[in-house]
A and B are shown apart, each in its own frame.
Chain A
């Protein structure tokens, strides 16, 4: 049995033991199962928020993006982080209080309390449509890593990954997911430090060599035009409010102090992780220019190439961190979607939520097995499609509007159509349409 498979078995056993221990705290109702009884500490909340937010995109996609396009990639990611901190520091206390006041367990339920149950169902369906392909892409990435490093067949790799995604959520609910996320968050950050120290030691004169990067050090440049920057940044800027798996995490801290700690500690984690990951891409690019790292055309192959050059024990740790990043993102999404199925579609039946964890995971796994050509495109669209929910969320806290069904469905249809047409202004137009329909429906119509 090879080293990665042994490491994976150890990872699976430890994660399962943590989830089983989390279960000992008792699961009496939906709030216990889907939001850990609203009783999670600030540190654990922060780590589960970070592990859920940061997927395999960071160590694979963002390293490659920095390598290929320079500091614009860091700006893109830090715009996301600043936007998240801005939104959370203002809206997280409101969401936290409102979710307690109206006893909302799922994000759609929170909106349904103001805009009605039909709107909650529509929001749940939009989340399902937007996030199943995105979760499948996480599963594909994890399964490819598993296939490549352990030598097992892709089909079995998908099955193992799917079991890991659903098992901890099924056993321990959100408390199980949050605790396993916390451990995996630590693995992700540790592996990132290991990778940057290793690469920096290969080229200690990086800071003197940096000017070799030329136009990659300034924005805008050929890769980061203002239009491209806006079209990529806007959906991610609002990620904290539009993605149910992270929005729901504002419900879980045990008190106001824990909520603030969650946001601040997440900010520290995010800043450190982003700096390391983007610096890694720039370091490797300088090394390519100096001829000490291969020139890579496909930017998604930058990290795999680095892993193939690292000593095997370091490579294993970084690979495990990528694996963990994808699993934590995927299981948090599945659990959040299942909470919407249980609370908003099946009207408060927890066993339906638990069954839906299995059914959703099967769907995600089937997508991962079929790997249809459009799945990556659908996955990229996810954040844009979820923007259709944003006007309702703003209206919840800034207006007394009560009619939201038309706004969310029309904005979603516009997002789908414009994304299909590859319009670069899709995020902006989606938001404008959603806002306009919302105002018109509540102000002009009876």
Chain B
């Protein structure tokens, strides 16, 4: 597992704890977007069994 990948994804996931303080669904949609983008990334990336 690339350490950089882990760090970037985890940092992206904790952003709302520090930077999103809006009283709307911003944090909610932010997490959905980060998860969806990561899912797209792993599906596009070449795996060692391919």
Contacts and interface: CB of A to CB of B under 8 A. Distances in A.
A260 B24 CA distance: 36
A256 B50 contact: yes
B48 A219 contact: no
Contacts of B38: 82, 85-86
Interface string B1-45: 100011001000100110011111111100110111011001101
A79 interface: yes
Contacts of A214: 23
A94 B28 CA distance: 33
Given A74-B28, A215-B23, 6 more contacts: A71-B27, A86-B38, A210-B25, A211-B24, A217-B23, A264-B39
Nearest to A75: B31
Interface stretch (A53-61, A187-195, A267-275, A429-437): A267-275
B27 A207 contact: no
B6 A218 contact: no
Interface string A196-230: 00000000000100110111011110000010000
Contact of A86 (B9, B21, B36, B49): B9
Contacts of A117: none
A24 interface: no
Interface residues of A, number: 41
A259 interface: yes
Q: Which DSSP category, helix, strand, loop or mixed, fits chain A's interface?
A: helix
B49 A93 contact: yes
A263 interface: yes
Contacts of B31: 71, 74-75, 78
Nearest to B17: A219
A264 B39 CA distance: 7
A71 B39 contact: no
A374 interface: no
A349 interface: no
10 contacts: A75-B31, A78-B32, A82-B35, A89-B42, A89-B45, A94-B48, A217-B25, A218-B27, A256-B49, A264-B42
7 closest A-B pairs by beta carbon, nearest first, are A256-B49, A90-B1, A93-B49, A89-B42, A267-B39, A264-B43, A93-B48
A96 B39 contact: no
A94 B9 CA distance: 21
Interface string A250-271: 0000011101100110011001
A78 B50 contact: no
A268 B43 CA distance: 11
